[in-house]
Structure 1
Amino acid sequence: MWLTNCNVVDVESGTVLRGRSVEMERGIITEIASAGPPPGAAVHDLGGRYLMPGFISCHTHLSVVYPFSATDEAENPAITAYRSAVRAQDALRSGVTTMRCVHEQNRADLMLREAAAHGWIDAPRIFGAGRAISRPNGHGKGADCAYATGAAEFGAAAREELRAGADHLKIFITGGLAHEGEDFGEPEMTDEEIRATVEAAHEHDSYVAAHAGAWQAIRQALAQGVRSFEHAYDLDEETARRMLEAGAFLTPTLCVTRSESWMRAKGFEEFSIRNALDAADRHLASIRTAVRTGVPIVAGTDYPPGDDVDGVSAHVHEMLLLATAGLSNLDVLRSASLTAARLVGAETFLGQVAPGYAADVVALRDNPLEDLEALRDVSFVGSGGRIIRDDDLGETRTAG
């Protein structure tokens, strides 16, 4: 199939290739041509829309229950999988064609990944962590995490998730905002526990993502080999510099502290809402520090990315917030494409509209390099060369 009459957004060069036709075959982009497709080819006219890589969301939870206190750790895995599948499909229709899950109850991410591979469900490409690993009374308590105390237990729990099929590991090195009385600056793991988890990941050519509220624990985890950090509600310039030097990635999840209406609609406890709002200014200032320092930034929501937040998907909401933290329009696009693909180790296959890359694409009516507000109007989604959604009802026909 060919997508015709489209303007291709090149997120590597920051330019637009106008009036192009894009050939997709067996889920791969095979050609980008300035001429039209050959006679007899199947074509789908995009009507001059702007074609860019499908979004990669790097901090996703599909199985989460709101409010958090309603989570049943003994829930039937089938129920967990069903809830997660609906959210995965919502995310795909919103333009999220790849997601990195960083804890799912009953390892629902790994189940959905397998179901999608068999063609039983339409879902984004999934890089999954299975269950996150938490101390029994740590930030992950009550969420059906793997629970561990001491280096040996953390190492064993890490290897268990990897044997189950996890692509990466998730740990909690500080408290967070979810629980009453929590302190997001309070460290929750020892050097030995962090190191044991990192060593297990390295044995499987994998890496560790760390829930990290504040700079002290980030420095601690950097020293033990962690290279992916989530949230950073309180980050100083020196720690940001160390992250840059170590080649670490940061997923800010700014929407966590800037989505009050969504939190209230989902029935969050008042203390959770208050915790989030109280951290909002410090959070934004910290991410501005990371951006100014040059830390690689990737987009992720901490919420189901297809949820509606004030009229846009949670993922687009996050991308727009990243611009308020100082990212250029191009770097915002890269946070959900090129940079995100580097984080998940798929930069030669995901994150660009180019020959040899996955045919995972979205189309917008306006140019996002000129105006990020164009992201609010995703009108076309393609995944693996299949058309998932076209709001403009473009028809597939045969070229003359």
Structure 2
Amino acid sequence: MLTTTRGRRPAPEPETLWLTGGHVVDVRSGRIRRDTNVAVTAGRIERITADAPPPGARTVALGGRYLMPGLISVHTHLGVVYPFSETDEAENPGLTALRALSRAQDALYAGVTTIRCVHEQNRADLLVRTATEQGWVDAPRIVGAGRAISTTGGHGWGSDCSYADGYDAFLRAARMELSAGADLIKIFITGGIAHQGESFTGAQMTVDEMRAVVRAAEEHGSYVTAHAGAGSAIREALAAGVRGFEHAYELDDATAAEMAARRVFLTPTLCVTRCPDWMAEHSFTPWQIERAVEVGPGHLASIRRAVAAGVADPDDPGAPGITLLAGTDYPPGEPIEDTVVAVREMEFLTDAGLSPLQAVRSGTSEAARLVGLAGQAGAVEEGFLADLIVTERDPLSDVSALRRIPFVMQAGRIVRDELPAVPVTPNQQAPGGVL
């Protein structure tokens, strides 16, 4: 019988590949392991050592560059349409999935090896995830929420959310997304900044509706994250058992302190209020751009309050603190200001008060913990998935080192290799293309 693998992604080669002469970035300890070799076998990191590879081994020379875990973006919409007004809720799911796949592949090439999607029309995230798992396409590892759940006429109305009103309807809607394969549930508890007439200061869901969604998630060993604008709605969601929050445009000190006490996850998405040129290039309306710029200073101040309330210490799970995470809202592989959106967001997090190490963790080890990959991804450690990127400079000294990523590996497969043929010292600028 004739067989073929045409169209299927090849499995990682069983032979060992050595990444040699690099400096390994330990994102958990904050230290650099210099002049180190890393052996990758069957998609995982087999060995990290100063010993030389065996004779005849297949190698990639890093030439004194920095090897770190692939990036993880935890607030992503791959199938979104710009301008939002052109969204067609009756769109063929195949078209939505193809658009989402294109954005996903851009992100992977840029160094984002895992993505958490928090609402996709036609559950495109779950479709692309399945195609990737079946080996038909290359894309980041996807943790998906399927369709977000909103109230009738609430934020997300018109973007193919699941719409519900009342405890029983929200419980049913959440169970439907989970039964369709969602890894988590996303809800809209306030309005946002993209539509006229909306406010992010008042709750659009009742506490009972929030509790219904939390109940469904807990039935499946999952959790709920909430689009949330301001403190009053966030406090209600905390009481209902919501564990994650997105945006937080306007946090007060008391709410930030309560979030720290409950050790919640917060994804600021600072990009959405700090990138007017990008918005203009993507057909946002003048009103939307003006509104984003208007909210921007308060948004940054809000996240600074979250940082001041205490950043969670991954080594002390009993201490209060907020886990801040890197998520873009915009497709993470989109070009912006000589880099990509995923990297720009991490730079913005340092503007909000995170150290370079904390900002790197927000898009690697801490993000891995949120998406259920703790102990599997988010760090360069033996036994971990070989999701790896290379930078020219030390990202723990300056997160902007991520603006140039010439090498990307996912699960042991080389996705991008623009390393120059001639090694350079760590302080030299390498030739070749610039991301």
Write out per-residue CA displacement over residues 262-313 of structure 1, whole angstroms, 9 at most, x where no aligned residue: 1000001122112211100100000001011122100000000000112210
2:41 maps to: 25
In structure 2, the partner of 1:170 is 186
| Partner residue, 1:291 | 307
Q: Give the one of 88, 112, 127 matched to 2:104.
A: 88
Q: What corresponds to 1:279 in structure 2?
A: 295
SS in structure 2 of the partner of residue 37 of structure 1: coil
SS of the residue aligned with 2:34?
strand
Gaps of 5+ in 1: 396-400
Query: For residue 139 of structure 1, what is the amino acid of its counterpart?
Result: H
* Partner residue in 1 for 2:52: 36
CA–CA separation in structure 2 for the residues paired with 1:393 and 1:209: 42
8 Å CA contact 2:145–2:186 kept in 1: the answer is: yes
Gaps of 5+ in 2: 1-16, 311-321, 423-435
What amino acid is aligned across from residue 76 of structure 1 in structure 2? N
Cα distance in 1 for partners of 2:181, 2:420 equals: 39
So what's the TM-score if we normalise by structure 2? 0.90
Distance 2:289 2:197 in 1: 13
Letter in 1 for 2:249: Y
1:112 is aligned to 128
Aligned to 2:384: 357
- In structure 2, C-alpha distance between the alignment counterparts of 1:3 and 1:71, rounded to whole Å: 44
Asked if residue 334 in structure 1 is aligned to residue 361 in structure 2, the reply is yes
Q: Is the 8 A contact 2:343 2:400 kept in 1?
A: no
Distance across 2 between alignment mates of 1:186 and 1:268: 24
Shift of 1:394: 5.3
Q: 2-side partners of 1:307 and 1:183: how far apart?
A: 28
Q: CA deviation at 1:372?
A: 2.0
Letter in 1 for 2:256: A
Q: Which amino acid aligns with 2:350?
A: A
1:251-266 matches, cutoff 5 A? 251-266=267-282
Q: 2:116 aligns with which of 100, 104, 114?
A: 100
Identify which of 41, 45, 50 aligns with 2:61.
45
Superposed displacement of residue 184, structure 1: 1.2
User: Do structure 1's residue 149 and structure 2's residue 165 form an aligned pair?
Assistant: yes
* Conservation of the 8 A alpha-carbon contact between 1:44 and 1:394: no
Q: 1:392 aligns to what?
A: 419
The 2-side partners of 1:345 and 1:243 are apart by 21
Aligned to 2:393: 366
Question: Could you say if the C-alpha distance between residues 94 and 183 of structure 1 is closer, same or farther in structure 2, counting changes exceeding 3 Å?
Answer: same
The total of aligned residue pairs comes to: 395
- What does residue 307 of structure 1 align with? 334
Partners of 1:333 and 1:186 lie apart in 2 by: 33
TM-score (norm. length: structure 1): 0.97
How far is the alpha carbon of 1:186 from its aligned partner?
2.1
Identical amino acids, percent of aligned pairs: 56
**Matching residue of 2:429:** none
Deviation at 1:370, TM superposition (A): 1.6
Q: How many Å apart are 1:316 and its aligned residue?
A: 0.3
Contact 1:380 1:390 in 2 (8 A): yes
Match of 2:345 in 1: 318
Report the residue type matching 2:346 in the other structure: M
**Structure-2 residue corresponding to 1:59:** 75
Contact 1:261 1:310 in 2 (8 A): no
Q: Which residue in 2 is equivalent to 1:344?
A: 371
How far, CA to CA, are the matches of 1:53 and 1:307 in structure 2?
20
More deviation, 178-187/299-308: 178-187
Cα displacement string for residues 297-348 of structure 1 (whole angstroms, at most 9, x for unaligned residues): 0000000000011221000010000000000010000000111111112111
- Match in the other structure for 1:398: none
Contact 2:114–2:142, Cα closer than 8 Å, also in 1: yes
1:189 is matched with: 205
Q: Is the 8 A contact 1:341 1:351 kept in 2?
A: yes
Q: Secondary structure at the match of 1:242?
A: helix
Paired AA for residue 299 in structure 1: A
Query: Are 1:15 and 2:28 an aligned pair?
Result: no
Using a 3 Å threshold, how does the CA distance of structure 1 residues 115 and 393 change in structure 2: closer, same or farther? farther
> 1:389 & 1:345 partners in 2: Cα distance?
26
**Residue type matched to 2:238 in 1?**
L
Deviations 1:90-148 (A, max 9, x none): 00011100010000000000011111111111100100000000112010101000010
Contact 1:91 1:306 (8 Å CA) reproduced: yes
2:285 corresponding residue in structure 1: 269
Q: Specify the code of the residue in structure 2 equivalent to 1:234.
A: E
Question: Which segment drifts farther, 319-328 or 242-251?
Answer: 242-251
Residue matched to 2:408: 381
CA offset digits 1:25-48 (Å, max 9, x no partner): 111111101111112321111121
Say if 1:175 and 1:184, in contact at 8 Å, map to a contact too.
yes
RMSD: 1.0
Cα distance in 2 for partners of 1:122, 1:235 equals 39
Structure with the bigger RCO (C-alpha within 8 Å, sep 6+) is 1
